[in-house]
A = this chain, B = another copy of it.
Amino acid sequence: MKRIGIADTTFARFDMASAATNELQSLSTGFRIIHYTVPGIKDLPVACKKLFEEQSCDIVMALGMPGPKPIDKQCAHEASTGIISTQLQCNKHIIEVFVHMDEAQTSKELAFLANQRTREHARNVIDLLFHPENLTKHAGQGLRQGFEDAGPVQ
């Protein structure tokens, strides 16, 4: 039985964890989800580490929604750096799903994007865990999560 961790925040303005859980369960079986919520994105790296080391997760989704200001961009950078360090310390993947608030023009668009990107990355999680060959098939194909795929160039 595989264990998938979901780390999310109270700062985000959309319940990305529910979207992730719903999508993961619609895509596959044979795993258990462990959900862990922290205040903000800078709390995510150690949350992911705890999911690996204290909850024996095999892979983790790190869900966050950085704000639009320069300080928010800096926080996102710090969080991402810590998330990469965590992966290297644990030798396991963390799929970071960050939706920057200034990627969308309206609240509705933001909710749509957060839902869509989370769900498309849930598929990446299932593939990394159970079907890595699916990713290899799409290598260099210009896939995107949340927006339309860019597609390959010739």
Binding site for B on A (CB under 8 A): 8-18, 35-39, 42-43, 45-47, 49-50, 53-54, 71, 73-89, 91-96, 100, 107-108, 110-111, 114, 121, 124, 128, 132, 135-136, 138-145, 150-154
Contacts and interface: CB of A to CB of B under 8 A. Distances in A.
A93 B36 CA distance: 13
Contacts of A94: 46
Contacts of A42: 80, 83-84, 96
Given A46-B91, A82-B84, A82-B87, 17 more contacts: A8-B139, A8-B140, A10-B138, A13-B141, A17-B139, A18-B140, A35-B139, A42-B96, A49-B88, A50-B91, A71-B100, A73-B74, A78-B81, A82-B88, A86-B88, A107-B153, A111-B154
Count of chain copies: 5
* Leading 3 A-B pairs by shortest Cβ distance: A15-B140, A46-B87, A13-B142
Contacts of A88: 45-46, 49, 82, 85-86, 89
